[in-house]
Amino acid sequence: MNTVTIGMDLGDKKHVVCILDAEGNMIADSTVTNDKESINTFFCKFKGSTVAIEASTHSPWISRQLTLLGCNVLVGNPRKLRVIWDSNDKTDKRDAKMLAQIARFDSSLLYPITHRGKEAQIDLEILQARDSLVKNRTNLVNHVRGSVKAQGERLSSCSTESFYKKAAESMPDFLKDTLLPIVEIIGQLTAQIKEYDRRIEIISKEKYPETELLRAIKGVGPLTALAFVLILENPERFAKSRQVGSFIGLTPRRDQSGEVDKQLRITKAGNPFLRRLLVGAAQYILGPFGEDCDLKRFGLRLSARGGKNAKRRSVVAVARKLAVLLHRLWQQGEIYEPLYIEQRKKLAKAA
């Protein structure tokens, strides 16, 4: 068993490596080119060693590569490692040494995260590519509408999906030469988004049938269900369903001291893409088209209390409860019952 501890500060082209012996003395520092061959060549002689890195663009594939080489890989959470990034003497070499020292002293101080598997990451890229297209389409639609408004005109109201079909009908003639090429691009983006939607449906049915359980909740579509499964990857990684809300960053921060216990905003830790999808689902559930269910009743009760930002707080609270419910349905394989609490009360009275 290799007794050295290695800290590696990841870069885009090169990585800085610091190696500590069993007593904590630095015995070597070096640089490694950012490619699989160089990493294999350097780390093949350190099988069994502990390697500490920070989460970044390259950390998923590098952590998998080092694990295959027999290393114990710790991926630190950069949000928690202030001792590294908040320094008056910050260098790549110092960062690598600090990672090694923390890993050697107490690895829990790295707040290590677990990267999802390669297959799940590849499937998740489809969802993120779709999300990127949707954002770009929205920006282009806003640009066209804004350009027309700036000339004292206005395009007719329509959905974003049908914008490329209807925009030309009410567009001023003097702007058509300039804006119609953008409208054509919007049409192409819409077609590609629909193609991604088709692929998401196929992947969900063929590879992730558990998403059907999650989609039973009205407001949770194929995109949200698949993103939830891919980002969490394994329901057993959480001992309790309540931990999912914290994992996604939907729980409030805590700053308690003595008699003071401040009410703070949510942490926004974890995956922002999934958090945004869950908040969107919560808004639908609380909206006019959401069905009567325990989640909606819970959110409406919170909103009815009034106070500053009551409606916004209720949306976040419903999103957090939704995350917990999705995990329980997935983990237990239960069938969703919209009014479970009410039915349970009726059964208790009947008994």
- Note every long-range contact of 188-192, with CB atoms under 8 Å and residues 24 or more positions apart, other chains counting: 189/133, 189/136, 189/137, 189/140, 190/137, 190/160, 190/161, 190/163, 190/164, 192/133
Q: How confident is the model at residue 99 (pLDDT cuts 50, 70, 90)?
A: very high
- Please give the model's pTM, rounded to 2 decimal places: 0.88
Average pLDDT, the chain: 93
pLDDT recorded at residue 343: 81
What does the alpha-carbon distance between residue 228 and residue 236 come to, in Å, rounded to a whole number? 14
Report the run of H or E that residue 242 belongs to, with start and end. Answer: none
Q: What is the pLDDT of residues 56-74, one digit of tens each?
A: 999 999 999 999 999 999 9
pLDDT tier at 19 (50, 70, 90 boundaries)?
A: very high
Which pLDDT score, from 0 to 100, does residue 351 have? Answer: 65
Q: Residue 327: which pLDDT band, with cuts at 50, 70 and 90?
A: very high
Tell me the Cα Rg of the chain.
Answer: 25
Sheet holding 26-33, edge to edge: 26-33, 14-20, 5-9, 50-54, 72-76
**Pick the residue with more confidence: 88 or 256?**
88
Lowest mean pLDDT among 218-232, 246-260, 321-335: 246-260
Spatial neighbors of 303 by CB under 8 A, at least 6 apart, are 286, 310, 311, 314
Specify whether domain 5-110 bears CATH 1.20.1300.10. Answer: no
Provide the percentage of residues in the chain whose pLDDT is more than 70.
99
The domains of the chain are located at 5-110, 118-207, 213-347
pLDDT of the residue at 9 = 96
Tens digit of each residue's pLDDT (9 = 90 or more) over 117-155: 899 999 999 999 999 999 999 999 999 999 999 999 999
The answer to whether 109 and 102 are in contact (CB under 8 A) is yes
Q: At what angle do helices 294-304 and 272-286 cross, to 10 degrees?
A: 80
Which spans in the chain are helix H?
36-43, 59-68, 82-85, 92-105, 118-149, 163-166, 173-207, 211-214, 222-232, 243-248, 272-286, 294-304, 310-332, 340-350
